Structure 1
Amino acid sequence: MTTQPAPVQPVLIDGDWRAASAPVGQFRAENPTTGEAIGPAFPICGAADVEAALAAATAAAAELAATPPERIAAFLEAYADAIEADAEALVDIAHAETALPKQPRLAAVELPRTTNQLRLAAKAVRSYAWTQPVIDTAANLRSHLAPLGKPVLVFGPNNFPFAFNAIAGSDFASAIAARNPVIAKAHPSHPGTSERLARAAFAALRQAGLPAASVQMLYHFDHAIGGKLAGDARLGAIGFTGSRAGGLALKAAADAAGIPAYVELSSVNPVFLLPGALAERGIALAQEFFTSCTMGSGQFCTNPGVVIVPRGEAGDAFVEAAKAHFAAAAPSVLFSGGVLEHLQKGIATLRAAGAQLLAGGDTGSPGYRHAPTLLEVDATQFLREPQALQTEAFGPASLLVRVDGVAQMVQVATAFEGNLTGTLYANSADDAAWNDVAQALRPRVGRLIANRMPTGVAVSAAMNHGGPYPSTGHPGFTAVGMPAAIRRFAALHSYDNVPEHLLPPELRDHNPGGVARQIDGCWCVDDLETKQA
C-alpha cells in the first residue's frame, strides 16, 4: 500500500490563508514521548513568502497606528475569549506536540495565563497606561509613547506553546497593544498549536475590524532568511525568546540596521542558601529545589541552574538529600532531539570544567528523555572557570557550588553573568549575610527573590522578566507584565507648540478618559485647566 504524504498547511499572509509560495522544504511536529512525526506537514518558507509578509505588514502599519484604541482592546479581548472557547482542543494539540501535562500545566496554568495577558494588554490600551503622557506647560511641550509605525517580528520559543507563542504570547500582545502589525515566526516544536491559535487570532481581527495584515504567521524559515529579515530596515523591532546563539545572531543583524531587538537568551538563575536558612530547613529545601529543577522537565528559562551551598553538616545533609531525589527520579521527556543534544553538550561542558556528576547524566527511551542530573563543584574551581561553569544546561539539570562561608558566597555572586533571577534563602539570623550577598548579586539579576524558587513568573505590572546581558539584550525592559512590556515596541513622540486640537487625545488639555498624566512634574488625572487652577 502506498502511503499518502501528509497535507501541507497554509501560511497566513496579508489576510489570506494560502499555500506557501516556493517553499524550500517542509516539516512535521514530533511526539516527544516517542520521537515519531505527528500531524500534517508545515512549509519552510522561502524568500518570497517572507517578503510578501513584510511588505503587507509595512503597508498596514500606518492604518493600524491610527486605529482607535477601543478596537485594539476589542481584538485582544475577543482573541482571549476565542482561546478559552477552544481550550480543550488547544490543550490536546499542545500536549501532543510538547509532552507537557494537560493538567495542571497547560489547561489550568499556561492557557489562563495567556488569556490573562491578552486582557491585561487590552486594559492597558484602554487606560493609555503604556503611553506615559507628559506635559510641560511652561515650555508648551508634550510627549507620549506611540506606535513604531513599522511591523514587529516575533519569534516564539519551544517551552511555552501558549504564553510565549509568537502568535499569542506576551511579545505578541505587547506589540499589538502598541498598534504595530506583527509577523509571527512560530516555533517548529508546536506548529499545530500555533496554527490553531493563528486562526482564532485572525477571526478576532476580522471581528474587530483591524487591517488584514495586522497579524501574519509563518511556521519556519532558514537562518539565512531570518538574518536577512532581522536586518531589514522596514522592521520596527524584534521580540525573541530562545537560544543565546540564535538570539545574538538576530540581534547582530538588527543592530547593523538600527532595529531594536528585545532578546531573551539564557539564564542559570543562581540560588544562594544562606547559613541560617540551611540549618533551619535544609532537608525541606532539597525537596523544593528538586521539584523546581524538574518541573516541566527543567525546560524553564527560570530553572534553578546553579545552587550555592555552604560547607558543613547542614550543607552536606542538603546535598545528600538532593542527590537522593535526583537519583530516584525517572528520565524526563524533553521537547525535541535538539533540546536533548543541547542538554548533553551543556552537561559535558560543565564536567570538562571540573564539575563532578552526583546523580543522573543518562538518556532514556523511547523519544527524547534525559535523567534529572545533579553536579557539584568547589567554589575555588568555579571562580577559576566561571564562564564554562555558568553554561546553561537547559533541562532537568543543576550545578551545586560548595562555598566555605559568606565571604566566598560574595565572591561567587560577583562572578555571575547577567541573569533573569537571583534567589536568596534566609531566616532572621541571615540579615548580615543577606546584605553582603544581595549587594553583590543585585546588579546581576533582573528579579531578586527571597525564600522561593525562581520558576514562577507572575503576570504583574511589577514583574521584571528580563535582566542584564546575557540573560537579555537590554537590562531596562521586561517581556512579562503590562503595561511595561508594551513599551518595548513604542517610540517616544514629542510635540512642541502644537495646537491643542491637533494633539493625540491623551496630550490634550481635556482628559476625558481619566488618563494618568505627568503635568509639570506631578502625576494626576485632572484636566489641564483644573490642574493649572
Structure 2
Amino acid sequence: MSPIDTLHPILVDGRWIRAGAPTGRFRAVDPSTKRELGGRGYPVSDWPDLEAMLAAGRRAAADMARLPAGRIADFLDTYAGAIEARAAELVETAHRETGLPTEPRLRNVELPRTSGQLRQAAQAARDGGWSRPTIDTAAGIRSVHGPLGGPVLVFGPNNFPFAFNGIAGGDFAAAIAAGNPVIAKAHPGHPGTSALLAEAALASAEATGLPAGAVQMFFHADVGLGLRLAADPAVAAVAFTGSRAAGMALKAAADKAGKPVYVEMSSVNPVFVLAGALRERGTAIANELHASCAMGAGQFCTKPGLAVLAPGGHAEAFVEALRHLTAAAAPGVLLTPRSPQAVADAVARLRSAGADLLAGGGIADAAAGHAFQPTLLRVSGRRFLEDPVALQSEAFGPVCLLVAADSTEQLPRIAEAMEGNLTAAVYSDTGGADDETYDALERILRPRVGRLLNDRMPTGVAVSAAMNHGGPFPSTGHPGFTAVGFPAAAIRFSALHCYDNVRHHRLPPSLRDHNPTGALLRWIDGEWTTRDA
C-alpha cells in the first residue's frame, strides 16, 4: 500500500475520494499529551482537488436554487439527528484531538448547541421569513433574498470542534439554510472530528435528496492555495473564524476578487468595573472575571481579555483578589502545538508596551501538555492611553490585562481608545450610584461593540434570534451581520433577487399574490402582513 493510500479521503461531489496529489500530510495531535494520534494521516490538498470541488459546487448551486425550502430544512433536521446519533464517537474523538473536557463542555454544551442551531436553521429555511419577501403591487416590483449562485467557502476555527466546525457549525448551517452549497475546510486541530461530521452530513444529504456537491470538505491546503480558492470566480462567499492575520489575508484576497467575505478575527472584549460595583461586590466580580478568563483556557473569542477598573482603594482590593485567583489556578490545555508560544509572544508584546506582570506569564511545564500559565497583567490608565493599540493585542489564552484608571474622568477616554470588539460589559452599582458614569460610557461603547452587557461576563454566546455575535472592525470585517442566531445569520449568504413586471406564474412562491404558507410574514405595500397581496 502506498503512503497516499493510508491518507484519509476527502469529500468531493458526493463521494469520498483519494486526494489527487497531496503536497503534504499531517496527523492529529492530542494537546494534553503532545503525542500524535494513531490511525490515518490527513492530506494537504493540491489545486486539482480544490478545482474539482469548485466545479461540483457550481453544479450543486444551480440545483439547490430549484429545491423547495422544505427539502433544505429536512436536510438540516436530519443532519442534527445524525450528529446526536453519533454523539459518543464524536465527543470522544473531539476530546482526544482538542483536550477539551468531555463533560460538560463537549457532550452537554457544545454538541447540543450544534444540533440545536442546525434545527433553528431548518426552521428558518422552512418558515422563509429570513428572506424578507417584499411586494409593491402598484409598481409591479417584488423582491426576496435568495441563494448566491455558487458555493460558500467556510473556514472553521480551532476552538469549537462542533459548534463552529466548517462542515457543521453556524456558518455552515446559515449558508445551507439560505440555499447554498458549502465547501468546508476542516481545521487541522480536529481533522478526525470533522471527518465524522462530514460522514453524517453526506449521509443526511443523500437521505433527503440534496445535490451531490451540496456538502464537500478538504482537510488542509497550503496558504497560497487557500487564498487562491477564496478569490476564485466560482466561490460565492467566504466565511472565516480565526486569527486577525489569517482573516485579513483572506479578506484581502476575497475583496480583490469582489467576493462577499465574513471574517471573525480579534476581540479583547473589555469589561468596565465602576466604583460602586467595586465597593458593593468587588470580590464576587473578581471571581466572575477569573472564571470567565480561565474558561476553556482562555480560548474563546468572547473572553474578557481586558478589564478597566475605576480608581480607589476598592480597585486595589479587586486587583489583589484577582492576582491570588490567577496565581493559584492550574494551567489549562491549549489547542495546538503552536498555541503556547503564540500566547507567550502576545504577553511579551503587552509587557513591552508597559504592562506589569502580576501573575503567571510563562509557558507551563511539559507535563501539562500544550499549556500556558494563567496570567494577569496591569497597566495604568495613563500608560494605556499612550499606546492603546499595542495594549489591545489579543492573547488567545488564559491572559487578562487590568487597566487601572487614574480618575473617574479618565474612564470615557479609555473607552474612546477601544477598537471595535464583539462585546463590552459594564458592572455598576445596583442602587444607581454609577448611573452617570454608565451613561457616559454607554454612548461611547455602543458603536464600538456588537453586544453590550450589564453585570455579566461576555463568554457565553446564546443561540438566540436576538443575538449579535459580530461587531465593528477588527472584531469582524463588517458590523452589520451576526454569525450566531437565526434567521439573521442566513442573510449574509444571500443575494437580493428583484422581479420587475415578471409574470405571476414565473415568480418564486413567496412573491406570488397568495401567501404560500398562510403564515409567511411579507412586506406588502408598506406593511408587514401575512395576508395575500
Please classify the TM superposition score into its range, dividing by the shorter chain length: over 0.9
1:511 paired with 2:515, answer yes
Give the Cα separation in 2 of the matches to 1:386 and 1:345. 18
Mapped partners of 1:37, 1:78: distance in 2: 33
Aligned match of 1:33: 32
Per-residue deviation at 1:522?
0.8
Instruction: Using the TM superposition, give the Cα deviation of residue 152 of structure 1 relative to its aligned residue in structure 2, in angstroms.
Output: 0.3
Deviations 1:483-514 (A, max 9, x none): 11000000001111112221111111000312
Aligned position for 1:111: 111
Query: Which residue is 1:521 aligned to?
Result: 526
The 5-angstrom pairing of residues 307-386 of structure 1 reads 307-364=307-364, 365-366=366-367, 367-386=369-388
Q: What secondary structure, in the 3-state scheme, does the structure 2 residue paired with 1:335 have?
A: coil
Alignment correspondent of 1:531: none
Report the CA distance shift for 1:158/1:6 in structure 2 as closer, same or farther (over 3 A): farther
Q: Distance in 2 between matches of 1:169 and 1:18?
A: 23
Question: What's 1:202 paired with?
Answer: 202
| Counterpart-to-counterpart distance in 1, 2:502 and 2:362 | 67
Matches within 5 A, 1:142-161: 142-161=142-161
Report if the CA contact (8 A) 2:181-2:215 is conserved.
yes
**Conserved 8 A contact 1:306-1:400:** yes
CA contact (8 A) 2:136 2:142 kept: yes
Is the 2:154–2:166 Cα contact (8 Å) retained in structure 1? yes
Aligned 1:174-323 pairs, distance under 5 A: 174-323=174-323
The 3 A distance-change label for structure 1 pair 410 and 6 is farther
Contact 2:423/2:451 (8 A) holds in 1: yes
Measured after TM superposition, the shift of residue 6 of structure 1 is 9.8
**What does 1:459-498 align with in structure 2 at a 5 Å threshold?**
459-498=463-502
| Aligned 8 A contact 2:481 2:492 in 1 | yes
Aligned equivalents of 1:478 and 1:78: distance in 2?
A: 25
Q: TM-score, normalised by structure 1?
A: 0.97
> Does the residue aligned with 1:386 lie in a helix, a strand or coil?
coil
Deviations 1:153-193 (A, max 9, x none): 00000000000000000000001111111000000000000
Shift in Å, 1:291 = 0.3
Q: Distance in 2 between matches of 1:93 and 1:65?
A: 35
Shift of 1:373: 0.2
Counterparts of 1:494 and 1:199, CA distance in 2: 37
Cα separation, 2, equivalents of 1:19 and 1:94: 23
Paired residue secondary structure (1:187): coil
What CA deviation, in whole Å up to 9, does each residue of 1:458-496 have, x standing for no partner?
001110000000000000000000011000000001111
Separation in 1 of the partners of 2:58 and 2:501? Answer: 30
> Alignment partner of 1:337: what SS?
coil
State how far apart, in whole Å, the 2-side matches of 1:101 and 1:247 are: 28
Q: Which residue in the other structure is 1:126 paired with?
A: 126
Distance 1:235 1:356 in 2: 47
CA deviations on 1:418-468 (whole Å, 9 max, x unpaired) are 000000011221111110011111111000001100000000111000000
Deviating more after overlay: 397-406 vs 93-102: 397-406
Query: Which amino acid in the other structure matches residue 498 of structure 1?
Result: V
Aligned residues: 525
* Whole-Å separation in 1 of the counterparts to 2:409 and 2:195: 52
1:393 aligns with 2:392: no
Whether contact under 8 Å (1:331, 1:363) holds in the other structure is no
TM normalised by structure 2 equals 0.97
Secondary structure of the corresponding residue to residue 434 of structure 2 = helix
Q: Give 2:462's aligned residue.
A: 458
Asked if 1 retains the 8 angstrom alpha-carbon contact of 2:341 and 2:363, the reply is no
- Structure 1 gaps, min length 5: 529-533
Any stretches of 5+ residues in structure 2 without a counterpart? none
| Contact 2:176–2:182 (Cα < 8 Å) also in 1 | yes
**Letter paired with 1:286:** A
The answer to whether the Cα contact below 8 Å between 1:273 and 1:425 also exists between their aligned partners in 2 is yes
Which residue of 2 is the match for residue 23 of structure 1? 22
Whole-angstrom CA distance in 2 between matches of 1:73 and 1:447: 29
Question: Greater shift after overlay, 202-211 or 423-432?
Answer: 423-432
Cα distance in 2 for residues equivalent to 1:127 and 1:423: 34
Which residue type is aligned with residue 305 of structure 1?
A: G
Say which of 416, 419, 444 aligns to 1:417.
419
Q: What SS is found at the alignment partner of 2:285?
A: helix
Matched letter for residue 324 of structure 2: A
Structure 2 CA distance for partners of 1:24 and 1:177, relative to 1, 3 Å: same
Q: What is the one-letter code of the residue matched to 2:530? A: V
Return the alpha-carbon distance in structure 1 between the equivalents of residues 341 and 54 of structure 2. Answer: 33
Following superposition, the deviation at residue 330 of structure 1 comes to: 1.4
Amino acid at match of 1:28: R
Q: Tell me how far 1:5 sits from its aligned partner.
A: 10
Partner of 1:97: 97
Q: CA deviation at 1:130?
A: 1.3
Alpha-carbon contact 2:382-2:406 (below 8 Å) kept: no
